[in-house]
Amino acid sequence: MKTSEINAMTDEQLVHKGLQIERDLIAAKFSLKTNQLQDTSVVGKYRKDMARLNGAIRTREIEAGLARNAFQALHSKTFQAVDSGSEGGEGAGFLKGIVDKISSNE
C-alpha cells in the first residue's frame, strides 16, 4: 500500500482498511503455522501495511487533538468484514470466527 493511497483515504476508510488487514494478517499467520500458505512474504507485507496505516491514523488523531485510538473506537463499529479469500482457501469461513475472537481479545 502506497503512502499516496493512505493519504487519499478518509478516517473511516483508514480504520476499516486497518481492521481488514489485521484480519488478513491473523489468517495468514494461521495458514503459515499450518503450512498452508503459498506466499510467505504476505505476512511481512501485511505487517508493514499495518504499521503505515497505524502511523497515518495516529498522525490524524494528533492533528485533530484526539486521544490515542479515538478513531478506532469511533469507526470500528461500522466495520463490515469482507472475505478477501486470498490465502484462506476453503478454511476461510472457519478462520473468520477464530480471527474475530483473537482480534477482540487484543
* Nearest partner of 8 among 48, 45, 60, 43, judged by Cα: 60
Q: Poorest-confidence range of 20-24, 45-49, 86-90, 92-96?
A: 86-90
How confident is residue 103, by pLDDT bands cut at 50, 70 and 90?
low
Q: What is the pLDDT of residues 12-65, one digit of tens each?
A: 999 999 999 999 999 999 999 999 999 999 999 999 999 999 999 999 999 999
Range of the domain at 72: 3-105
Q: Please tell me the total count of domains within the chain.
A: 1
Q: How far is CA 22 from CA 3, 43, 63, 65, in A?
A: 18, 10, 24, 25
Q: Rg of the chain's alpha carbons, rounded to an integer?
A: 14
pTM for the predicted model, two decimal places: 0.73
